[in-house]
Structure 1
Amino acid sequence: MGEYFRGIRTEMKKVVWPTKKELGSYTIVVLFTCAFFAVGFWLIDLGVLSGLKAILGITL
């Protein structure tokens, strides 16, 4: 068990942590990407729903 935790400590020393500036820019990229895909999926869903309404003649 001790060897396991020593291995974890060794690997954690190898990690290069981002700076505050990098972390901020990465966060903005992630939020923008999530928003982009959310809007994209919403538009696709809206298009499919409109198509089904037109084809099947239904109203919701």
Structure 2
Amino acid sequence: MKRAEGSKAADLWTRVRDYVIGVYNELKKVYWPDRRTLVAYTAVVLVTVAVVCVLLWLFDNAISFLLELLFKAVG
């Protein structure tokens, strides 16, 4: 019985080791951008997020304004 449990544990550690080795090998294949490209991509993301935030804020204010007009007209 203990032998079976020991082999299960060894099998688990073998699978974990193989997984970590596979992850390491895949990470060596990844194209890592240089600093200039990384800064440019980060700037694009930040500008895009800012634009979307402003658009959502404008849309929210417009809907709020229209709902206030509607409630004043009805109520």
User: Shared fold by TM > 0.5?
Assistant: yes
1:46-57 → structure 2 map (5 Å cutoff): 46-57=61-72
Q: Which runs of 4+ in 1 moved over 4 A?
A: none
As a proportion of its length, which structure holds more helix?
A: 2
The unaligned stretches of length 5 or more in structure 2 are 1-15
Across the aligned residues of Structure 1 and Structure 2, the Cα RMSD in angstroms comes to 0.5
- The count of residues paired between Structure 1 and Structure 2 equals 57
Using the size of structure 2 for normalisation, the TM-score is: 0.74
Higher Rg: 2
Amino acid at match of 1:6: I
Q: Percent identity?
A: 37
Report the CA distance between 1:30 and its aligned residue.
0.5
Using the size of structure 1 for normalisation, the TM-score is: 0.91
Looking at both structures, which has the greater relative contact order when contacts are Cα pairs under 8 Å and sequence separation is at least 6? 1
Report the CA distance between 1:55 and its aligned residue.
0.2
Give, in whole Å, the separation in 2 of the partners of 1:28 and 1:8. 29
